[in-house]
Amino acid sequence: MRGRIMRILIISDSHGRTENIEILKKKIGKLDLILHCGDGSSDFDYIGDRLGCRVHGVSGNCDFFTREPSVLNLDIEGKRVHIEHGNRLPYFSDRELMDFAVGNGYDVVLFGHTHVQKLLQKDGVWVANPGSISRPRDGLPSYMIMETDGKGNFKFHKERI
């Protein structure tokens, strides 16, 4: 996936509650890809159908009897993107999260689990948690949009419903 500008929706922790997907459909416009950070793997097909694009995602600690992987590594514009739910990450420490990303050679680490938005960036490495699309612990339901420029540069937008 290199050479063209992309808009990627990052969501997590839908937990079977998809009513906010209808709001997103009206609000966000055309997407190229959806990345789901777990706890809602049974929602992937519905979300993809409603928003009109493919969903790549992982299972979370509340996703029972799923075939989704617990970890997903993608190449987006030549960058290593790591997705996992986050319950096994050091999610209380920004430094440890960044050390995890850098130490494993990831350019982007996406995770959920906490239901709280987080966006860290240091020396071209990003760590992002979109919060929860259905059950936030930090205010309104949240998500992120990651925009690419076709050359491996990313821009993140923290959003609320």
**CATH code, domain with 126:** 3.60.21.10
pLDDT class of 4 with cuts at 50, 70, 90: confident
Residue 2 pLDDT > 70: no
Query: What digits encode the pLDDT tens for the residues 30-66?
Result: 999 999 999 999 999 999 999 999 999 999 999 999 9
51 occurs within a structural domain: yes
Residue 1 pLDDT > 90: no
Q: What residue numbers bound the domain in which 56 lies?
A: 6-160
- Which residue do the tokens 């491996």 mark? 152
Taking each helix axis as running N to C, give the angle between helix 19-28 and helix 44-51, from 0 to 180 degrees, rounded to the nearest 10.
30
1 occurs within a structural domain: no
pLDDT class of 138 with cuts at 50, 70, 90: very high
Give mean pLDDT, residues 4-17: 95
Q: Closest by alpha carbon to 47, among 64, 22, 82?
A: 22
pLDDT class of 122 with cuts at 50, 70, 90: very high
63/6 Cα distance (integer angstroms): 29
101 occurs within a structural domain: yes
Give the per-residue pLDDT at 11: 98
Domain count, the chain: 1
| E runs forming strands in the chain | 6-11, 33-36, 55-57, 71-76, 79-84, 108-110, 117-122, 125-130, 142-148, 154-160
39 occurs within a structural domain: yes
Residue 129 pLDDT > 70: yes
109 bridge partner residues: 82, 127
33 occurs within a structural domain: yes
Query: What digits encode the pLDDT tens for the residues 56-114?
Result: 999 999 999 999 999 999 999 999 999 999 999 988 899 999 999 999 999 999 999 99
103/150 Cα distance (integer angstroms): 26
Q: Closest by alpha carbon to 116, among 138, 94, 98?
A: 138
82 occurs within a structural domain: yes
pTM: 0.96
